[in-house]
Amino acid sequence: MKFLSFMIMVAYILVSSLRISIANDSMNVLQSMSDGVSLVSKGGKFEFGFFSPGYSQKRYVGIWYKNIPIQTVVWVANKANPINDSSGIITLNSTGNLVLTQNAYLVWYTNNSHKQAQNPVVVLLDSGNLVIKNEEETDPEVCLWQSFDYPSDTLLPGMKLGRNIRTGHEWKLTSWENPNDPSPGDIYRVLELYNYPELYVMKGKKKVYRSGPWNGLYFSGLPYLQNNTIFGYNFVSNKDEIYFTFSLLNNFVIERTVVNQTGIVYRYVWLEGDHNWTMHRSYPKEFCDNYGLCGAYGNCIINQTQGCQCLKGFSPKSPQAWASSDWSQGCVRNKPLSCNGEHKDGFVKFEGLKVPDTTQTWLDKTIGLEECRVKCLNNCSCMAYSNSDIRGAGSGCVMWYGDLIDMRQFETGGQGLHIRMSASESEPEDGHERNTPTIVASTIAAICGALLISSYFICRNRRNNAVTNYSKDKSEKDIDLPTFDFSFISNATNDFSQSEKLGQGGFGSVYKGILPDGQEIAVKRLSKTSGQGLDEFKNEVMLIAKLQHRNLVKLLGCSIQQDEKLLIYEFMPNRSLDYFIFDSTRHTLLGWTKRFEIIGGIARGLLYLHQDSRLKIIHRDLKTSNVLLDSNMNPKISDFGMARTFGLDQDEANTNRVMGTYGYMPPEYVVHGSFSVKSDVFSFGVIVLEIISGKKNRAFYDPHHHLNLLGHAWRLWIEKRPTELMDDLVDNSACPSEIIRYIHIGLLCVQQRPEDRPNMSSVTLFLNGEKLLPEPNQPGFYTGKAHPTKPNSSSRNIDVYSFNEMSNSLLEPR
């Protein structure tokens, strides 16, 4: 290596006096490139030279699209070694190595030490590939070095993801640290060479997402690829190399696939006549794409209320955790395997699956499915088998060992998997497959889990002589939850001691409690003088008892005794969101990545309430203090005392009793008592802007413009200074464009007119970057000037009231 470096420096000195400025698609050893000079591919598609990413002033050498107005870099040479000024020089030496120097110091170079160079040239091709080859060589596949062998964060048509088995060289995508810094991040997309290879997105050593193995037609986890008309896919596996690549089927499309620092792989397209990139696909895209979400033998079903279901023949390992949407422990068999015992095991075929993680697999492409079944049956460690190639009647054999992890169900497409089961649960071995799918959305298991939880609490209360039977009271018959004796909960909270008090609200106080078995709980004790009477209490119990979502707080039980009304919840160790973001010290503990995750979690919880649960529910009191944080700082929406159910065909309702919290209620509710799903959207938008700014909407006041936080955010937006809204004491790891996107979404949600606000399904698409954002109109309670590019926007925002001038008689504060 030292000798090679020495030779590179010698070659640099020899050609330094012969540098010639160039501006075509190639460069030879007599030429050089300084900052400001570039190579352009023959067809004018790509450019190679010096650039500065995002807001950075540092200089890098890379490749970008030439004719796309938004500079889009696809490859970077000196990713971890930037140049601080414009003194960089690129040369090609006689050994066939490209060299980047600054003031005669070596910054970066290619490492071609194995191939002999004869009159080398470097050429930028219209594919975006920068190649070094011998000048006389006409075969584009024969080169001394090529940039396609050293991907950055972008996969272009013709590039490979995989490994050269002969040399051990790996082709993988690695994220930039952030949009202003192309140095390698900790997210990468790689083809893992298990016996049955598959593509993964990794964060360090942790698996984030996998596409499933290639089954001859598509990746098992991406069944829609088989009907694609834009891209052609190819998976190559031979003794020399294993890799995945793609090609474009239409010349009018430009495409790139990018893995970014958030752990998401985006596929972007640019069509003729477009003015911006359009996101075509992203992975992980859906709830069920998260790696290992449902644990062993769990199956994720995207359109089910309980997202994870145990496969038929399996039950939750921890029914209590399962019912609270913690599926990480997975499922266990209902009946044990006997293997070679008296009653031999058999198999059940499950259809339409993303097949399990292939870390522990065995592959034989030469045998068929029947021989595969026999081999698996005779090996006690084999838990499942399938065809490795599903084309035609299917061929090849793949067998899984150990627990089956990371499966999901598809409505169309997917793959068949034969899972080992006890003899009494397996299919008859008559050589005929059952025609009906045997995968069942195990609703029974979820119900049983909920019943087990109820039994657990009831039995424990009986052991403590603390259960009270309320069945005689008709007003309490509808509460289908474990009921607790008041004295039992009083003991758990140390007689509702001030030292156990977690918080105070308009309807009462919340206390921490510890049950005799050590379980921590949170107890909401409603004030006897509060506005929340028995109707609101029952409303909260009835609603939340029927809801199951990882972003909603789980209700464990209740108590109505001695004129006391108690709600017993799962305990959230990190309290509420406002405890962090509005505190001068604690807010630094929530970095941008976590803040974005919290916003996404709240959005998913609201979407579930509005659209995906069995009921259509309007929360009506969404605010930062009602967003609780678990031990991993994951958000959970709480406090459903004011929530209302809607009919599926109902869009709006009115009330004469306006109740809520200053700063989070939309204008139509405050003034007219009208509420809908768009009321919650407004509250969500306020929370987004509060999370971004670290400021309370209600407490913020701009003395120069007499604006609250919403008005301040809008003013910065129309003055094109939105990043000034950022909480400046948070880490600087976030991309400014991402911050701006979240501010944009927040402003869309707080628009004056409810019909202008997006619904939560659109909001979740916005947050995932899957939908272009429309331009926002003025927010509610805004009294400043209109958008300069929208002279008529103020006429659209009717009933604009100043929040500070509003009559308190309109509200019943909490």
List the catalytic residue out of 406, 621, 680, 727.
621
Beta strand pairing status for 812-813 and 659-660? parallel
Residue range 2-11: average pLDDT? 49
Q: What is the pLDDT of residue 172?
A: 95
- Does one domain contain both 694 and 792? yes
Contact of 422 with 289, CB cutoff 8 Å: no
Alpha carbon of residue 257 to chain centroid: 17
* Measured CA angle at 329 (ends 324, 334), to 5 deg: 100
pLDDT top residue among 562 and 238? 238
* Predicted local confidence at residue 442, as pLDDT: 36
Least confident of 65-69, 166-170, 320-324: 320-324
Same domain, yes or no, for 406 and 434?
yes
**8 A C-beta contact, residue 317 and residue 378:** no
**274 included as an active-site residue:** no
* pLDDT score, position 746: 96
Q: Where are the beta strands (DSSP E) in 325-393?
A: 331-333, 346-354, 361-364, 382-386
> In the listed set 127, 150, 173, which residue is the last one of a domain according to the structure?
150
pLDDT digits (tens, 9 = 90+) for 466-517: 333 333 333 344 445 678 888 889 999 999 988 888 877 666 788 999 988 7
Compute the C-alpha angle 224/230/235, nearest 5°.
Answer: 65
The answer to whether 141 and 158 have CB atoms below 8 angstroms apart is: no
Are 499 and 565 part of one and the same domain? yes
Predicted pLDDT of residue 680: 94
Looking up tokens 């609270």, which residue turns up?
A: 324
Task: Give the pLDDT confidence score for residue 452 in this predicted structure.
Answer: 35
As a whole number, mean pLDDT of residues 81-95 equals 93
Quick one: 622 and 740 in the same domain?
yes
**Same domain (yes/no): 430, 526:** no
Does 530 score more than 70 pLDDT?
A: no
User: Based on the domain organization, do 136 and 240 belong to the same domain?
Assistant: no
What per-residue confidence (pLDDT) applies to 730? 77
674-687: pLDDT as tens digits: 888 999 999 999 99
Indicate whether 459 belongs to any domain: no
326 by Cβ neighbours in 10 Å (0-12 / 13-18 / 19+) ranks as middle
Question: Is pLDDT larger for residue 149 or for residue 304?
Answer: 149
pLDDT at residue number 462: 38
The residue-averaged pLDDT of 77-105 equals 93
Question: What would the pLDDT profile of 32-41 be if each residue is shown by its tens digit?
Answer: 999 999 999 9
Structural domain contains residue 672: yes
pLDDT at 229: 67
Residue 18 has pLDDT above 60, yes or no: no
Residue 306: name the closest of 541, 608, 701 by CA. 608
Token pair for 727: 């909480």
Are 481 and 558 spatial neighbours (Cβ–Cβ below 8 Å)? Answer: yes
pLDDT grade for 541, boundaries at 50, 70 and 90: confident
Looking up residue 141, the CATH number of its domain turns out to be 2.90.10.10
- Do 161 and 145 lie in one domain? The reply is no
pLDDT-derived band at 454, boundaries 50, 70, 90: very low
pLDDT digits (tens, 9 = 90+) for 356-380: 999 999 999 999 999 999 999 999 9
Helix (H) or strand (E) holding 767: helix 760-767
Please check if 344 is assigned to a binding site: no
640 and 785 share a domain?
yes
Q: Is residue 265 part of a domain?
A: yes
Q: Are 624 and 637 in contact (CB under 8 A)?
A: no
CATH code of the domain covering residue 540? 3.30.200.20
Instruction: Choose the most confident range, by mean pLDDT, from 8-22, 129-143, 312-326, 522-536.
Output: 312-326
Q: Of 247, 264, 285, which marks where a domain is finished?
A: 285
* Alpha-carbon 98 to chain mean position: 39
Displacement of CA 715 from its chain's centroid (Å): 31
Cα 596 from Cα 605, distance rounded (Å): 14
Q: Do residues 419 and 383 touch, judged by C-beta distance below 8 A?
A: yes
**Same domain for 259 and 298:** no
CATH number at 693 reads 1.10.510.10
**At 457, which helix (H) or strand (E)?**
helix 443-463
Of 511, 546, 570, the position where a domain reaches its end is 570
The answer to whether 290 and 420 are in contact (CB under 8 A) is: no
Give domain status of residue 216, yes or no. Answer: yes
pLDDT reported for residue 458: 37
Amino acid present at 661:
T
> Comparing C-alpha atoms, which of 147, 117, 143, 144 is closest to residue 130?
147
When mean pLDDT is compared across 561-570, 700-709, 741-750, the lowest value belongs to 700-709
What's the total number of domains in the chain? 5
- Per-residue confidence band for 435, with pLDDT thresholds at 50, 70 and 90: very low
3-state secondary structure of 281: strand
Backbone phi, then psi, for 667, in 5-degree steps? -60, -40
pLDDT at 703 over 90: no
Q: Can you point out the beta strands (E) in 562-685?
A: 564-570, 616-618, 627-629, 635-637, 644-646, 652-654, 659-660, 674-676
| Residue 445 in tokens | 């298991």
- The packing angle between helices 709-718 and 677-693, to 10°, is 80
Compute the Cα dihedral for 111, 117, 122, 126 and give only its sign.
Answer: negative
Q: Where are the beta strands (DSSP E) in 217-316?
A: 231-237, 241-248, 253-259, 265-271, 278-283, 298-300, 308-310, 314-316
Across residues 587-600, what is the average pLDDT? 89
Residue 451 in any domain: the answer is: no
> What's the start-to-end Cα distance of the chain, in Å?
71
pLDDT band at 637 (very low <50, low <70, confident <90, very high): very high
Q: How confident is the model at residue 728 (pLDDT cuts 50, 70, 90)?
A: confident
- Span 7-29, average pLDDT: 57
pLDDT for the residue 650: 63
Give domain status of residue 741, yes or no: yes
What whole-number percentage of the chain has pLDDT above 90? 46
Same domain, 537 and 660: no
- Give 792's pLDDT tier (boundaries 50, 70, 90): very low
Mean pLDDT of the chain: 81
Residue with tokens 């509200």, as numbered in its chain: 811
pLDDT of residue 473: 36
Q: Which residue has the higher pLDDT, 264 or 138?
A: 264
Of the ranges 116-120, 279-283, 462-466, 611-615, which one carries the lowest mean pLDDT score? 462-466
Contact by Cβ (8 Å): 196, 212: no
Q: State phi, psi for 347 to the nearest 5 degrees.
A: -140, 150
Examine the domain organization and report whether 555 and 665 are in the same domain.
no
Q: β-strands 298-300, 407-409: how paired?
A: parallel
Nearest to 478 by CA among 390, 592, 560: 560
The answer as to whether 391 is a domain residue is yes
Residue 395: pLDDT over 70:
yes
Q: Judge whether residue 575 has pLDDT over 50.
A: yes
Residue with more model confidence, 648 or 34: 34
Strands (E), 355-445: 361-364, 382-386, 397-401, 407-409, 415-421
- Report d(CA 604, CA 302) in Å as an integer: 13
The span from the CA of 73 to the CA of 47, in Å, is: 9
The pLDDT-based confidence of 809 (bands split at 50, 70, 90) is: very low
Q: Does residue 163 contact residue 242 with C-beta atoms inside 8 Å?
A: yes
Whether the pLDDT of residue 704 is over 70: the answer is no
pLDDT mean over 139-146: 82
Do 405 and 509 sit in the same domain of this protein?
Answer: no
Is residue 694 predicted with pLDDT exceeding 80? yes
Q: What is the pTM of this model?
A: 0.55
**More confident: 272 or 673:** 673
Binned at pLDDT 50, 70 and 90, residue 111 comes out as confident
Q: Is 401 helix (H, G, I), strand (E, B) or coil?
A: strand
- Could you list the residue range(s) of the whole structural domain that residue 102 is in? 1-150
Residue 456 maps to a domain: no
Question: For 206-233, how does the pLDDT look when each residue is reduced to its tens digit (9 = 90+)?
Answer: 999 999 999 998 899 988 777 666 778 8
Please write down the long-range contacts of 325-329, taking CB distance under 8 Å and 24 or more positions apart.
325/548, 325/549, 325/550, 325/554, 326/550, 327/293, 327/294, 327/295, 327/298, 328/292, 328/295, 329/295
Neighbours of 524 (CB within 10 A): 25
